[in-house]
Amino acid sequence: MPADSLPSDAQSAPASYRGSHAFCRRVLPWLPVAPIALITAIPVLVVMSALADPDQEIWQHLWQYVLPELLVNTFWLVLGVGLGVTILGVSLAWLTAACEFPGRRFFSWALLLPLALPAYVTAFVWLGLFDFSAPLPTWLRDEYGILALPPVRSRGGVILVMSLALYPYVYLTARAAFQGQGRRLMEAAQSLGLSRWQGFWRVALPMARPGIMAGLLLAIMETLADFGTVSVFNYNTFTTAIYKAWFSLFSLPAAAQLASILIFFVFVVALLEYQLRAKRSYAASTRAASTPTRIRLQGGQGLLALAWCSGVFALAFLLPVGQILDWTLDVWETDLDARYLEFAWHSLLLSGLGALLVGALALTLGYAQRLHPTPALRVTARLATLGYALPGAVLAVGIFIPVAWLDNQLIDHLGLDGQILGGTLAVMLLAYCARFLAVSFGPLESGLGRISRSVDEAAQSLGVVGAKRLVRVHLPMLRVSILTAAALTFVDIMKELPITLMTRPFGWDTLAVRVFEMTSEGEWERAALPAAAIALVGLLPILFLIRNTDHAKA
């Protein structure tokens, strides 16, 4: 593992570059970074502007009756889901990336599939299968008199279901990290006398930390911002209080104030995490990507790995999908019509364009940060990726207000007939950037961190610099990270609701919007059809991702 003590670009540049170019060098990275950061910063600031005007009565009420419970609840939820996704994601990633056992090839992509299911739909399925009145508990009660099943509507239940829904984030990013390490790392560990098990704990795992943390941070941000899943369990969190303030107490300002606190908290955590990480290098050997030899798990060990993967796959995917398909069979004849082609097309279009745009912006941001790792740029990058931690509908309002304001200015000053920004694809895509930049940035940042600076040096010594270096050296090395980022973003946009609802053009519905139409009046069975369609369409990028990452290396 080469130490990353090599000089940064600025210092290694020939002396003649310095004088007149110093100013340019300092300003240049901000040209792309500033606009990217503004895409998130503007809506976030719109939300935070509510802090100026706190509503005394509501705050006193929240403080006295609402916050104590939900702070405790949120703490346990974040801790539980954080642990859950880490254990599931890391163990599965290690097994499928570094080991060989029966079924490995299948599981390496199948374990990503839960990502394609909206978590709140999965949650509802769990409730339908395991709550008191569900068939299975009823049968156990009637046949065997078993009364004391652990209740699914509980803290444990919500943590379990969310962990099963969100572990793929960690799985994907950790897997990319393990894959990037290659054979030499473990060989080096073993040559130092470590057993495989010790090698995993003392070398592979610590070296994969940025990847794991990137996925974990995404999972935690999603947990904090989640409303749908916790609502199914009626589990009160910070986000349910935000919606309570807005929808029940009719105070959007109070909701925005609560959301601001949430954002601030996530910002601090993201900065701390980065500070811890920035102190060390995680760059892999330049030849790391050479074909790794997998650890062959023999006999019982192999079966154990198979059982673990099968168990998680069954609970996280087969079970909910089975129920969704079962419901779909009941309703497809009446509900499925030609319009579904249009819904699916819209979903594909938005997710595809969104993933491209968000991915490109995240790459720009990550690359700028790599070339110019100044504190200001790092903080800005954290700020630009905060949109993921805000409850979706709150961010949607934060986006909508400035867009509507701009539209109104245009109408008033140019004498236009109506809005030209609101309800356009462009605004929708920008809104997705504000929300999902983190989803692309996380995997890309950890991917960039794995490229040793000695690669940059070598390229430079061969005269490959600037854009050429990015295209010919870095991009090929980042392939797995780029695909990971794009696939995650694609699937997330596909499932996204509040922003899509608020910014879509008239009559322009997506599959996720169909899920909303059905679930908002409690027609969960009918929501199964669009949910199944999301899973089906969402499979495409996942399969593509795995085809392009696994086969190359396996």
Partner 1 sequence: MRKLILTALALTTLATGATAAEVVVYSARNEQLIKPLFDAYTKETGVQVKFITDKEGPLLARLKAEGRNTPADMLMTVDAGNLWQASEEGLLQPVKSKVLNDHIPTHLRDPGSEWFGLSVRARTVVYNKNKVMPGELTTYEGLASPNWKGRLCLRTSKKVYNQSLVAMMIHEYGEEKTEKVVRGWVANQATDPFPDDTKAMEAVAAGLCDATIVNTYYFGRLMEKKPNLPLGIYWPNQNLKSANAGVHVNVSGAGITKHAKHPQEAIKLLEWLSSDKAQNLYADKNMEYPANARIKPDPVVAGWGSFKQNLINVSEAGKLQAKATMLMDRVGYK
Kindly list the residues in this chain that would bind partner 1 in the complex (CB under 8 A).
61, 65-66, 127, 131-133, 138, 151, 153, 231-234, 236, 240, 243-244, 246-252, 349, 353, 393, 396-397, 400-401, 404-405, 407-408, 411, 416-420, 422-426, 498, 501-502, 504-509, 513, 516-518, 520-523
Between 187 and 523, whose beta carbon lies closer to partner 1?
A: 523
Between 243 and 340, whose beta carbon lies closer to partner 1?
A: 243
Between 327 and 441, whose beta carbon lies closer to partner 1?
A: 327
CA distance 113 to 317: 7
Residue with tokens 């300002």: 253
Between 355 and 502, whose beta carbon lies closer to partner 1?
A: 502
Between 421 and 464, whose beta carbon lies closer to partner 1?
A: 421
Distances (CA, A) of 310 to 296, 316, 421: 18, 10, 48
Between 106 and 132, whose beta carbon lies closer to partner 1?
A: 132
Per the CB < 8 A criterion, the answer to whether 183 and 290 are in contact is: yes
Between 205 and 249, whose beta carbon lies closer to partner 1?
A: 249
Q: How far is CA 69 from the centre of its chain?
A: 27
Instruction: Indicate the DSSP class of residue 116.
Output: G
CB of 227 to partner 1, least distance (A): 10
Between 51 and 464, whose beta carbon lies closer to partner 1?
A: 51
CB of 460 to partner 1, least distance (A): 36
CA distance 30 to 457: 23
CA distance 454 to 8: 10
Q: Which two tokens stand for residue 52?
A: 């100026």
CB of 488 to partner 1, least distance (A): 23
Helix runs in 336-465, H state only: 339-371, 375-384, 392-414, 425-449, 453-461
Distances (CA, A) of 463 to 9, 28, 57, 372, 459: 14, 21, 66, 20, 6
Residue with tokens 């080096």: 188
CB of 261 to partner 1, least distance (A): 19
CB of 180 to partner 1, least distance (A): 33
Residue with tokens 């790599």: 370
Give the gyration radius of the chain's Cα atoms: 24
CB of 424 to partner 1, least distance (A): 5
CA distance 391 to 432: 13
Grouping H, G, I as helix, E, B as strand and the rest as coil, residue 118 is coil
Grouping H, G, I as helix, E, B as strand and the rest as coil, residue 438 is helix
CB of 230 to partner 1, least distance (A): 10
